[in-house]
Structure 1
Amino acid sequence: MQDANGGVAEEPDKLNVAVTFIHGMVEKAASYLPSVIGALVVLVIGLWVAGRIKKLVSAGISKSGRIDETLAGFLSSLVHYGLIALVLITTLGVFGVPTTSFAAVIGAAGLAIGLALQGTLGHVASGVMMLGFRPFDVGDFVDAAGVSGTVKKIGLFTTEMSTTDNKKLIIPNGMIFDDVITNYAGFDTRRVDFLFGVSYDDDLDKAISLIKDEIEKDGRGLSEPEPVIAVDSLGDSSVNILARVWVNREDYFPVKWALLKSVKERFDAEGVSIPYPCRSIYMEKSE
């Protein structure tokens, strides 16, 4: 087509170019459409499956009754986010993105983060082990990491304890799990040990009988294992009588304090002496 000046009209050419471009875009979009639909399907179904698996893992752990709620939530979340990462990588693969290099980048980033946070992650790992194996529970009195106290809270990073004079201790879990843990509340029963010193001039059978009588009168000692009362050693100024009494865990200190008082008072009433440490001094006269 020519214009009034004899020139060629450009409108049809522009229209053809536009139509060709749109046609090419439609063809290209159509070629990607199966991949897009497949990726969306994988993403939606994968996220739904990840959520369901998280709920199943959380419910299964909770039903076991042996794992702390904190650890149960941590493990279920760990599984959930791991599945989400797997779903995202699979989705990218379906969409046509090379996932090999992508996975390598994620692995390198994870290694770098792990090295940077190795101390913190070590405490987290110790916290997971403690919450899983339960060397102690909240409310137990323990010796751990060189300190003693009652456990108030067990977390993934730290454990909170209170001392006997009510000071708050916050201890990294790695320090606790890498050290010897003494749990005084680990068993239902404990043994109270006494050592009573009597004079060499006293009747040992009488002293043993008085100790046994006071243990029976107290009534909190267990019959199985039965109490043990015997001469333990010959000291510098006294004969030492050992008494071992098994009690329920909560009666340990009440029984210890009560029997120390009652045996002392009974010895006084029955004329059994508890000698003071003494030394004999010999003086030689010089000629």
Structure 2
Amino acid sequence: MNDVAGGLESVVAAYGMQLLLAVVFLLIGLWVIKFALKIMEKNIQGKFDRTLTSFLLSMSRAILLILLFLSIASTLGFEVTSFIAILGAAGFAVGFALQGSLSNFAGGVLLLIFRPFTAGDMIEVAGYKGKVQEIELLYTIITSPDNKKIYVPNSNISTNSITNFSALDKRRVDLSFGVGYDDDINEVKEVIKKVVSEHELILKEPAPIIRLGEHAGSSLNFDVKVWVSPTDYWNVYYDLHEELKYAFDEAGFNIPYPQIDVHFDEGVKM
């Protein structure tokens, strides 16, 4: 018994101080991690999307905890290089197996950091067009104009050109209207100006552009370019098509149709 007691005393004497230091190190480390994460959250709150903020905090916490436990293991006398090698090999295997998902993940992080668009914006990217509902770390969710929910991989978005229709406070509506060659050019322009000036959704500045744009095969085509708020684009687009048709009819303008003039040479015998 004396030998056993002596052995326990020697073990306690040898490792007791290390265990005590490890416990103290653990408690202090957890407190430091908690304090550091609070400071980090305070500094990045509002600067990034909430999804990215939550991810950065979770990732930072995981990394700090791993470093803390490796440090504690080293304090207790364990060889940490083997742990690091195992973690590295596991990380490589997982990364190779999930390289597609990791590519989407990296694209999602870039989108959340640089913010080429936000939720609610109307965009066109990777062959899809619609309103952004949510930006997740792997996918961006878009609702199409005909109300289909589309999950677009973030890797496709981050490597393609993005058209954001909502980024600026104005959009230009470009239209073209044709009248007959016999109609008076100035009169046509005045009728168009009247319709445009009376439309309440069309902005006064920048000024609308109304010019004869093309001598087509059977019509004179007038370019009409007006500026609107992005949310009013389609209302103005359809309104002008309808209202100018009524105005042209009232003014007596000819709506052009494709025509072919056939000339007969009387000297040619049939």
TM range (shorter): over 0.9
- Structure 1 position 283, deviation (Å): 5.2
Is residue 2:11 matched to residue 1:35? no
Q: Which structure 2 residues correspond to residues 236-275 of structure 1 after superposition, within 5 A? A: 236-275=217-256
Match of 2:179 among 183, 190, 198: 198
- SS of 2:156's partner is helix
Match of 2:88 among 107, 116, 137: 107
- Structure 1 position 190, deviation (Å): 0.2
* Structure 1, unpaired ranges of 5+: 1-17
CA distance in 1, matches of 2:152, 2:7: 66
Is residue 2:4 matched to residue 1:21? yes
CA distance in 2, matches of 1:273, 1:170: 48
Is residue 2:214 matched to residue 1:233? yes
- Could you say what the CA RMSD is over the residues aligned between the two structures, in angstroms? 1.6
* Aligned counterpart, 1:56: 39
- SS of 2:201's partner is coil
Total equivalences in the alignment:
268
CA distance in 1, matches of 2:269, 2:34: 99
- Structure 1 position 234, deviation (Å): 1.0
Amino acid across the alignment from 1:45: I
Q: Which structure 2 residues correspond to residues 5-154 of structure 1 after superposition, within 5 A? A: 18-62=1-45, 65-154=46-135
- Structure 1 position 274, deviation (Å): 2.2
- Structure 1 position 100, deviation (Å): 2.3
Amino acid across the alignment from 1:265: Y
CA distance in 2, matches of 1:103, 1:267: 79
Deviations 1:51-88 (A, max 9, x none): 222222223222xx241111110001111110000000
* Aligned counterpart, 1:156: 137
CA distance in 1, matches of 2:264, 2:61: 86
Overall identity of the aligned pairs, in %? 38
Q: Which structure 2 residues correspond to residues 177-196 of structure 1 after superposition, within 5 A? A: 177-196=158-177
- SS of 2:232's partner is helix
- Structure 1 position 203, deviation (Å): 0.8
- Structure 1 position 223, deviation (Å): 2.2
CA contact (8 A) 1:222 1:247 kept: yes
Deviations 1:137-173 (A, max 9, x none): 2222221221122222221111222222212212221
CA distance in 2, matches of 1:87, 1:151: 40
- Structure 1 position 195, deviation (Å): 0.6
Shift >6 Å, 4+ stretches: none
Amino acid across the alignment from 2:175: F
CA distance in 2, matches of 1:263, 1:164: 26
Higher Cα radius of gyration:
1
- SS of 2:3's partner is helix
- Structure 1 position 97, deviation (Å): 1.0
* Aligned counterpart, 1:221: 202
- SS of 2:81's partner is helix
- Structure 1 position 204, deviation (Å): 0.6
CA distance in 2, matches of 1:176, 1:132: 14
CA distance in 2, matches of 1:159, 1:178: 14
- Structure 1 position 205, deviation (Å): 1.0
- Structure 1 position 208, deviation (Å): 0.9
- SS of 1:20's partner is helix
- Structure 1 position 178, deviation (Å): 1.7
CA distance in 2, matches of 1:160, 1:172: 9
